Amino acid sequence: MKNVTVTMEDSVAEWARLEAARRNTSVSRLVGEMLAEKMRHDDAYERAMNEWRQRERPLFSIGGPYPKRDEIYGDRLDRFR
């Protein structure tokens, strides 16, 4: 484990102290857990984005015309007519 110094506004430090006390932990551990959760979230997002980019479905037309709006949403539009 590494020790780091973090600079924050007084109001943020007060919130962190109260939140750490509420969770029965230290401010250091609270900040470490928050950063670890952020890292896991960002990693999951990156994986999902890469999977989406590797899909075989093309996002653009392959030489043909794009479908018309009524062709795509025809059944939905009919309900409002």
Domain count, the chain: 1
Q: Is residue 64 part of a domain?
A: no
Q: Is residue 42 part of a domain?
A: yes
Tens-place pLDDT, residues 29-48:
999 999 999 999 999 999 99
* C-alpha closest to that of 30 among 43, 18, 40: 18
CATH of the domain at 49: 1.10.1220
Residue ranges in the chain modelled with pLDDT below 70: 57-61, 77-78, 80-81
Range of the domain at 23: 1-56
Q: Is residue 18 part of a domain?
A: yes
pLDDT score of 80: 67
Q: Is residue 39 part of a domain?
A: yes
Give me the DSSP letters along the chain.
---------HHHHHHHHHHHHHTTS-HHHHHHHHHHHHHHHHHHHHHHHHHHHT-SS-SS-SSSPPPPHHHHHHHHHHTT-
